[in-house]
Amino acid sequence: MTIDQSSILIVDDVSSVRYFLNQNLRIMGAEKVAEASTGQQALMAVSTQHPDIIFLDIELPDSNGHELLTRIKAIEPNCHVVIMSAHSTVENLKRSVEGGASGFMAKPFTPQKIHATLNRICKLPHA
């Protein structure tokens, strides 16, 4: 899988986070990047757009990212999900991995962290 061929969905209720991530992904070569600000929008996008990679915030106004991860994996089991959180706790990391996440990024993140995470995911086989 390559970044320029991947369909990516950013799920975060903070517009500045979505913008920063979107801009960095595009600089890295991503051409198909969609955004959602709620869990409901995310589920709709997963069902209709079938993204390859999702950057998913844990804390959304209408849902919990861990529960959303489970629902996303039920719809798109081969999708790579990167959990994002300002709360980089062992519990959050553990729940993310157990839920099937392909990665975890603590906020605030740098362009280098986005790049490293994406490079690692693009090398992973689909589940």
In this predicted model, what pLDDT tens digit does every residue of 7-50 receive, in sequence order?
999 999 999 999 999 999 999 999 999 999 999 999 999 999 99
Task: Outline where DSSP puts E strands in 1-127.
Answer: 7-11, 32-36, 53-57, 80-85, 103-106
Provide φ and ψ at 57, rounded to 5°: -75, 145
Tokens of 76: 């798109």
Asked whether the whole model's pTM tops 0.85, one would answer: yes
Using pLDDT thresholds of 50, 70 and 90, give the confidence band for residue 125. low
Q: How far apart are the C-alpha atoms of 54 and 83, rounded to whole Å?
A: 8
Tokens of 30: 């991503």
Helical segments of 28-64, H only: 39-49
In this predicted model, what pLDDT tens digit does every residue of 57-86 receive, in sequence order?
999 999 999 999 999 999 999 999 999 998
In this predicted model, what pLDDT tens digit does every residue of 80-110 receive, in sequence order?
999 999 887 888 888 898 999 999 999 999 9
Nearest to 83 by CA among 91, 16, 75: 91
Percent of the chain with pLDDT over 90: 80
| Residue ranges of domains in the chain, CATH in brackets | 3-122 (3.40.50.2300)
